[in-house]
């Protein structure tokens, strides 16, 4: 590994660094003008070897709001990867053009390979089903802004907990904070993998697994929704029996706390009824906005421009 600071996994950041990033994001939100030219003359390369409109636009928007410029590609077809160039070579080349790189790749570990050769900071914008640290940063910032602090709450994580990388990352990140109870809501087939269960046990936190959202709704302070895909079920009968348990609607929210925070990494399909969108407890569109601010904070920090409270 070389000395260039990269963020490949959420655990690359200490709790102190996470808190500093969130403080900076809060400061940007409070006074965006102060940061509007911080990255003037700097360039962000968005290297998207697989398409992801949402994440790419979030990064590009973040850099633009910092007064910087953006270059890059949005599919592997439009990059030299289509000609067979290695990730390492692409990164070394792009390092000659840009000051910082946000990279998404369909293969797991590609950003780690890139980080070994890079001359500029790299942010992993998702590598297959592996890591997606800026989504977790987004989730943490949203929790902190909605609840005031990260800790002293019960979080329900609902949906596909077996394959959902956002859920695993969020659990790993939250385990470093105090006094959080975990309620894992999923069909039996889609429970968290053993290695996540091991982490929960090792951390000695309070956690439980349930099948139905309705059964635990009154306990929850945060509900983190993810999508349950039909093709994940072993049989149609189970899918039909359980699918409604994983669709959040106003009826299910009747027993929920009045200050519940509903999060979702998006995109959603039908797991949250659109009737919930106007409820003040729905945080998922504010979460999208937080994603841009935390990416601004991360870009500033990795470029060494992250000192909070400085004037332009």
Partner 1 sequence: MNVDGVNNGIVLDHIQAGKSMEIYRILRLDKLTCSVAVIQNAVSEKYGKKDIIKIDENIDINLDVLGYIDPNITVNRVIDGKLSKKEHLELPEVVTDIIKCKNPRCITSVEQEIVHKFRLADREKRIYRCIYCDAEHK
- Comparing CB distances to partner 1, the nearer of 130 and 264 is 130
How far is 173 from 136, CA to CA, in rounded Å?
8
Q: Is 76 in the site for partner 1 (CB under 8 A)?
A: no
Stretch of 100-108, 143-151, 204-212, 265-273 contacting partner 1, by CB under 8 A: 100-108
User: Which of 18, 65, 86 is CA-nearest to residue 292?
Assistant: 65
Q: Is 113 in the site for partner 1 (CB under 8 A)?
A: yes
Classified as helix, coil or strand, 184 is strand
**Closest distance between partner 1 and the C-beta of residue 30, in Å?**
38
Sign of CA dihedral 237, 245, 215, 190: positive
Using the rule CB under 8 A, which residue among 36, 109, 209, 268 binds partner 1? 109
Q: Is 10 in the site for partner 1 (CB under 8 A)?
A: no
Is residue 312 part of the annotated active site? The answer reads no
**Closest distance between partner 1 and the C-beta of residue 195, in Å?**
9
Token pair for 14: 């200490």
How far is 185 from 253, CA to CA, in rounded Å?
15
- Comparing CB distances to partner 1, the nearer of 112 and 154 is 112
Using the rule CB under 8 A, which residue among 38, 42, 104, 105 binds partner 1? 105
How far is 312 from 36, CA to CA, in rounded Å?
8
Q: Which one is catalytic: 38, 43, 104, 144? A: 104
Is residue 132 part of the annotated active site? The answer reads yes
Strand partners of residue 7: 123
Stretch of 32-40, 105-113, 150-158, 251-259 contacting partner 1, by CB under 8 A: 105-113
Token pair for 30: 């409070």
Q: Which one is catalytic: 20, 54, 92, 197? A: 54
CB 104 within 8 A of CB 58: no
According to DSSP H, which parts of 214-261 are helical? 236-242
**Closest distance between partner 1 and the C-beta of residue 102, in Å?**
17
């Amino acid at each position: 590994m070389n000395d260039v600071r990269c963020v490949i996994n959420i655990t690359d950041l200490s709790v102190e660094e996470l808190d500093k990033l969130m403080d900076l994001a809060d400061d940007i939100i409070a006074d965006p003008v102060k940061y509007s030219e911080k990255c003037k003359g700097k360039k962000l390369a968005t290297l998207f070897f697989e398409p992801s409109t949402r994440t790419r636009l979030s990064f590009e928007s973040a850099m633009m709001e910092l007064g910087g410029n953006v270059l890059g590609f949005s599919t592997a077809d439009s990059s030299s990867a289509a000609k067979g160039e290695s990730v390492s070579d692409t990164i070394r080349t792009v390092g000659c053009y840009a000051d910082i790189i946000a990279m998404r790749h369909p293969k797991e570990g590609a950003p780690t390979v890139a980080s070994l050769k890079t001359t500029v900071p790299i942010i992993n914008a998702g590598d297959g089903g592996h890591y997606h640290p800026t989504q977790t940063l987004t989730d943490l910032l949203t929790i902190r802004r909605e609840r005031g602090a990260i800790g002293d709450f019960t979080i329900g994580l609902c949906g596909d907990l077996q394959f959902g990388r956002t859920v695993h990352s969020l659990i790993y990140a939250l385990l470093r904070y105090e006094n959080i109870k975990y309620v894992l809501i999923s069909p039996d087939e889609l429970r968290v993998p053993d290695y996540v269960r091991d982490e929960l046990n090792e951390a000695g936190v309070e956690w439980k697994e349930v099948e139905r959202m309705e059964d635990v709704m009154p306990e929850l302070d945060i509900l983190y929704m993810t999508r349950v895909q039909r093709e994940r079920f072993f049989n149609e009968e189970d899918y039909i029996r359980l699918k409604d348990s994983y669709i959040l609607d106003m009826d299910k929210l009747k027993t929920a706390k009045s200050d519940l925070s509903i999060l979702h990494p998006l995109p959603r399909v039908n797991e949250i009824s659109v009737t919930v969108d106007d409820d003040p407890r729905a945080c998922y569109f504010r979460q999208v906005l937080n994603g841009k601010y935390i990416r601004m904070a991360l870009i500033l920090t990795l470029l060494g421009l992250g000192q909070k409270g400085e004037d332009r």
